[in-house]
């Protein structure tokens, strides 16, 4: 699967600079529905996940911009990019001087895309392709979570895992463009960026992407 997934990602996307973060290049698609259909055919699975990995999402764009402006958040630290998609935040962390970067996503095409995108940007990123939310948080210094508050069921699983990580002393940074399930009472806003996204994914092609730190619970 790994090899054919890489070939599929390469075939279905174009390597190009990320809007607003032009020093990072990603394998990106223009249209979501035809690509989703291609994924369904490739996997033989009508319920295949949306090809999140082929787009830079608003939350990830804001978080990557924040790491560019605040490299001290990750420099010389062990970073884990949860729900990495294309690997955008992982690449931004590596560029900002992280000691090590691991990217996790449950979609095998995302793992393929992260590998291809890491290579295109000449950065080293380890990957984890299984669901970690029932495990202990990883032994790292910082967890990044870009644009992961878009679904109730997922948000309900992510929050306790990140709260546990925070209680262990891990810094947790999340980027969000106004999704419904952002846990507003648990976060502190650090920055806001106007991010360039696409009406393929969002109602507007520019959005305010906010970066938050998860606050420790008493
Ligand atoms: C909206 S995308 C965000 C991608 C990237 N962080 C960004 O901002 O561009 C959400 C990602 O979460 C991944 N995901 C969903 N459930 C997950 C889980 N349990 N563990 C890890 N990743 C998951 C999806 O496969 C998808 O790539």
Ligand 1 pocket check for 177: Cβ under 6 Å = no
CA of 180 from ligand 1 middle (Å) equals 16
**What is the Cα–Cα distance from 148 to 53, expressed in whole angstroms?**
13
Residue 84, token pair as written in the block: 């990495």
Ligand 1 pocket check for 190: Cβ under 6 Å = no
DSSP state of 130: S
Ligand 1 pocket check for 116: Cβ under 6 Å = no
CA of 93 from ligand 1 middle (Å) equals 17
**What is the Cα–Cα distance from 106 to 157, expressed in whole angstroms?**
14
Vertex 39: Cα angle to 35 and 42 (nearest 5): 135
Predicted confidence at residue 198, as pLDDT, reads 85
Predicted confidence at residue 55, as pLDDT, reads 97
Q: What is the mean pLDDT of each run of 10 residues along the chain (218 residues)?
A: 90 97 97 97 96 98 98 98 98 98 98 98 98 98 98 98 98 98 98 92 90 93
Predicted confidence at residue 188, as pLDDT, reads 98
């Amino acid at each position: 699967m790994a090899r054919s997934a890489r070939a599929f990602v390469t075939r279905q996307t174009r390597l190009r600079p990320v809007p607003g973060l032009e020093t990072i290049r990603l394998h990106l698609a223009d249209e979501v529905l035809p690509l989703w259909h291609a994924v369904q055919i490739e996997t033989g699975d009508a319920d295949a996940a949306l090809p999140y990995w082929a787009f830079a999402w608003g939350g990830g764009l804001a978080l990557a911009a924040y790491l560019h402006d605040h490299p001290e958040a990750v420099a010389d630290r062990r970073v884990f990019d949860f729900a990495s998609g294309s690997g955008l935040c992982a690449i931004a962390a590596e560029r900002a001087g992280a000691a090590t970067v691991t990217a996790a996503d449950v979609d095998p095409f995302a793992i393929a895309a992260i590998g291809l995108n890491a290579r295109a940007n000449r950065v080293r990123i380890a990957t984890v392709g299984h669901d970690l939310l029932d495990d202990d948080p990883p032994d790292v210094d910082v967890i990044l979570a870009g644009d992961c508050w878009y679904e109730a069921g997922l948000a309900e699983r992510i929050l306790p895992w990140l709260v546990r990580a925070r209680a262990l002393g891990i810094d947790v940074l999340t980027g969000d463009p106004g999704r419904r399930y952002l846990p507003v009472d648990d976060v502190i806003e650090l920055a806001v960026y106007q991010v360039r996204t696409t009406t393929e994914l969002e109602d507007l092609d520019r959005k305010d992407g906010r970066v938050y730190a998860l606050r420790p619970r008493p």
